[in-house]
Amino acid sequence: MVKLFKYLKPYIGTLIITVLLTIFYSFGIMYLAKLMAKMIEIGPDNKQEIIKITVRMLLIAIASGVAMIISTYTSAYVGTRFSQNLRYQIIKKKQDYSLSDMEKIGTASLMTRTTNDVSIIQLNFIMILQMLLKAPVMIVIGLILAFNTNAKIATIMTISLLVFIIVAVSIGRKVLPMFDVIQVQYDDMTHSFREVITGVRVIRAFRKEKHEEKKINNSASSFALTGIRINKKFALLIPLLILMINLGILSIISYGGFTAKSLSDLTNMTAMIEYLTIIMFNILMAMFVILEIPRAQTSAKRINKVLDLKVSVSNGKISEIFNTNIRELEFKNVSYTYHDSSSDTLKNLNFKVHSGETIAIVGSTGSGKSTVSKLIPRFFDVTFGQILLNGIDISTINQTILRDNIGYIPQKAFLFRGTIASNLKFGNKDASYDDLVKASKIAQAHDFIINKDDGYDSYVAQGGTNLSGGQKQRLCIARALVKRPYIYVFDDSFSALDFKTDSALRKQLKENIKDAITVIIAQRITTIMDADKIVVLEDGKMVGLGTHHELIKSNKAYLDIALSQMTEKELFGDLLWKKLLWKDFLVIYLHKRKNLLLF
């Protein structure tokens, strides 16, 4: 937890004021006990002296109260700002994570670390300032006053305090491992709840409500049982500590009663009892904080794990390379292996694409198509080889500059809560209304947008849940178009579109982004058959590169995919007479009938 205190630096001045006010308040409370003992010693006959002491006590009480009020406010201010800074640092760090870094911690765990763990640290920090900080101050001031009053009774008081602290710490050490467990269980419970909420349609469709209820109940029960075990320890601690306080007071009274020889000795004993009571009460309050500190330490470890994680994708230093457009994208001997896999997902990919060209990546499920799309904006770093833009390795380019020049349309369309316009402006906040309309028309989204009551100001729910799959995909495409990048990466971004919309959209893209490099990852042959180049992947290897017509004639893997989606008439109709020789058609016919391909 101490490691996180560096994020307190902006508020160090306010923190120092809080500590000084706490010291002043603690001294005032202890000095009141001394004045009370002195008043008893004076007796009722010296009324003038009693009035003087009473006035002093009143002034000290008011000053201490004001100091306490201000320190309470400043401690709450520092604690709240501290947690705000922590959350900012976590989010800032998370933005630098690659997708593999995110997978190491997990989405649900990142959410609980950013919310619940930070809240625990905030609460504990405020309690440390308001309750725990007073205890050592009270002990120091109280013991100084006690030893100045009566050294022997002060020694008894010191022994009582040591026993009190030892008992409390020993119980606290037993609780510490339980907090590690309960935080992991909290993560698991959060993950289960999140899964049930987001997957409610699938759960209902498969009639798995009872199964999920049982899973959540098991997760919640484990969390509850650990909480009960911790509370049992607390239940033992509180009466035990109260017993220790009473034994300490009894020791002072017993010793003082046997050794008192004058009224002064009795008043000193009264002051000692007051000192001990105040100190032990503050220690008792401090113990509540101390017993929560292990939980805060566990949360701090989890937060430090997020902040200390070495990102796998480091930021490049080159920031001024695209004064003109990006002319060439090249994959040079590129291989990639996921961190939790022992085999390569991509193996030795080599291809080039120039501005104004469209390259498509096609292959069966699991062939590595989407991985290619994620390597271009450096969501991952290649395991081996290089990805070059204008001959420059993208790992040396500043990530902000790199991604500013790439329009990425993800496989799973995602929209942010807001309006259609705010989502379209996500990559270009200065875009005009005309820019939004133009991009939406190209993406075949304009018609359904203007049919809504509020048009471009229509509300979009988080994740775009109030829109259809096809509408979300078209808006994501329009969002990338508004950005006007040099490279467009479509990661299976046409899958939810009907064939008519798909065809119209591709036609518009071809006419309106002529100077850009376009990379299309797709399952449908009809989506990519007009591409300038098509890369065929099989088990992560590039087994074909060429145009649709070339691959139909020469590549078995591509032909398998094509014939699985289209009829012979659809695939060969115009090609038979216009593009293929009779020999080529014979090759395809034999493959269709006998699963053979001649080269």
CA distance 86 to 92: 10
Same domain, 461 and 522: no
576 occurs within a structural domain: no
CA distance 98 to 285: 44
Same domain, 428 and 541: no
CA distance 241 to 288: 11
> Using DSSP, how many helices (H) and how many strands (E) does the chain show?
22, 12
Final residue belonging to a domain, choices 510, 525, 546: 546
586 occurs within a structural domain: no
Read off the amino acid at residue 87: R
Nearest to residue 117, comparing CAs of 307, 273, 297?
297
Structural contact between residues 464 and 415, judged by C-beta atoms closer than 8 angstroms: yes
**Count of beta carbons in the 10 Å neighbourhood of residue 254:** 11
Cα–Cα distance list, 499 to 367, 430, 444, 470, 474 (Å)? 24, 33, 12, 11, 13
- Listed in sequence order, the residues at least 6 apart from 168 whose beta carbon sits closer than 8 Å to its beta carbon are 237, 241, 283, 287, 290
CA distance 84 to 77: 11
Same domain, 206 and 302: yes
568 occurs within a structural domain: no
CA distance 150 to 147: 5
Q: Which domain holds residue 108?
A: 2-308
The per-residue pLDDT for 50 is 83
Same domain, 111 and 155: yes
Same domain, 87 and 227: yes
Sign of CA dihedral 249, 252, 258, 263: negative
Q: Can you list the positions of beta strands (E) in 325-410? A: 328-336, 346-354, 358-363, 384-389, 392-393, 406-409
507 occurs within a structural domain: yes
553 occurs within a structural domain: no
Same domain, 135 and 146: yes
The per-residue pLDDT for 445 is 92
Strands 517-521 and 487-491: parallel
Same domain, 222 and 356: no
Structural contact between residues 28 and 64, judged by C-beta atoms closer than 8 angstroms: yes
- The SS3 call for residue 547 is coil
Final residue belonging to a domain, choices 431, 457, 484: 484
Read off the amino acid at residue 246: N
Secondary structure of 427-490 in HEC code, one letter for each residue? HCCCCCHHHHHHHHHHCCCHHHHHCCCCHHHCEECHHHCCCCHHHHHHHHHHHHHHHCCCEEEE
Same domain, 105 and 152: yes
Same domain, 230 and 283: yes
Q: How many domains does the chain have?
A: 3
- Work out the burial of residue 348: count CB atoms within 10 Å of its CB; fewer than 13 is exposed, 13-18 middle, 19 or more buried: middle
Tokens describing residue 223: 């969390």
Same domain, 120 and 72: yes
Tokens describing residue 130: 């308001």
**Count of beta carbons in the 10 Å neighbourhood of residue 470:** 19
CA distance 148 to 429: 70
- The SS3 call for residue 328 is strand
Final residue belonging to a domain, choices 431, 464, 484: 484
CA distance 520 to 409: 10
Q: Which residue has the tokens 């560096």?
A: 6
565 occurs within a structural domain: no
Tokens describing residue 120: 């625990």
Same domain, 350 and 243: no
CA distance 353 to 336: 20
Read off the amino acid at residue 196: V
CATH number, domain with residue 395: 3.40.50.300
Nearest to residue 344, comparing CAs of 362, 375, 367?
367
Nearest to residue 251, comparing CAs of 165, 148, 164, 169?
164
Same domain, 83 and 132: yes
CA distance 535 to 550: 12
The whole model's pTM is what? 0.70
H-helix segments, 262-354: 263-308
The per-residue pLDDT for 572 is 64
321 occurs within a structural domain: no
pLDDT tens track, the chain, 599 positions: 778 888 888 999 999 999 999 889 888 888 888 788 777 777 667 778 888 888 988 999 999 999 999 999 999 999 999 999 999 999 988 888 877 788 788 877 888 888 888 998 999 899 888 888 888 888 888 888 888 877 887 888 788 778 877 877 777 677 777 777 887 788 788 778 878 887 887 888 888 888 888 888 888 888 888 888 888 777 777 777 778 778 877 877 787 777 766 667 777 777 778 877 888 788 778 777 877 777 788 888 889 988 888 887 878 777 766 556 788 999 999 999 887 777 888 999 999 999 999 999 998 888 889 899 999 999 888 999 999 998 899 988 888 888 889 999 998 888 999 999 999 999 898 999 999 999 999 999 999 999 998 999 999 998 888 898 889 999 999 999 999 999 999 998 888 888 888 889 888 988 888 889 999 998 888 888 889 999 999 988 999 999 988 888 888 888 888 888 877 666 665 544 444 444 555 555 555 555 544 43
- The SS3 call for residue 109 is helix
201 occurs within a structural domain: yes
The secondary element (H helix, E strand) that includes residue 185 is helix 151-198
The secondary element (H helix, E strand) that includes residue 69 is helix 47-96
pLDDT tens-digit readout, 187-218: 788 778 878 887 887 888 888 888 888 888 88
